[in-house]
Amino acid sequence: MSSLIGPAVSGVLLGGSLIIAIGARNAFILRQGLLQQHVFILCLICAVSDALLIALGVAGLGALIAGSEFLLTAVTLGGAAFLAVYAAMAFRRAINPVAMRAANSGRGSLKAAISTCLAFTFLNPHVYLDTVLLRRFLAT
């Protein structure tokens, strides 16, 4: 039993450190919460998506990607493209700080909110590092 305590504590601390970071998706969810728009469904989507990605990581998807030069290159280039676009958007917002306000200009559609949430979840390379690939690199 005591041999499980060390890994369990390490897992909880690692999981907590990944959750605490406010990334793009978390900032979006916080904004939606401030606007009181579609909060429950978006949080549900995030929870189910994370559970799915963690299950894929535990099932060995990270090892499959790490073992394939083509997949590793595709994931790397896709992640770099996402980060470049997101950096450009952040730079544009930094130049025009007014755009950073969570102003309520009418109720946004549920479809747009879900699409944005799914994009932040599945197009963000960071989510794959945290969920799918992290288990592979910790095991080595």
Please list the pLDDT of the chain residue by residue as tens digits (140 residues): 556 677 778 777 766 766 676 778 888 999 999 999 999 999 999 999 988 888 887 787 777 777 888 887 887 787 788 778 878 887 887 887 765 555 555 578 999 999 999 998 888 877 777 776 665 555 55
Predicted structure pTM score: 0.65
DSSP per residue, 50-83: HHHHHHHHHHTHHHHHHH-HHHHHHHHHHHHHHH
Residue-level pLDDT at 19: 66
Q: What is the pLDDT of residue 33?
A: 92
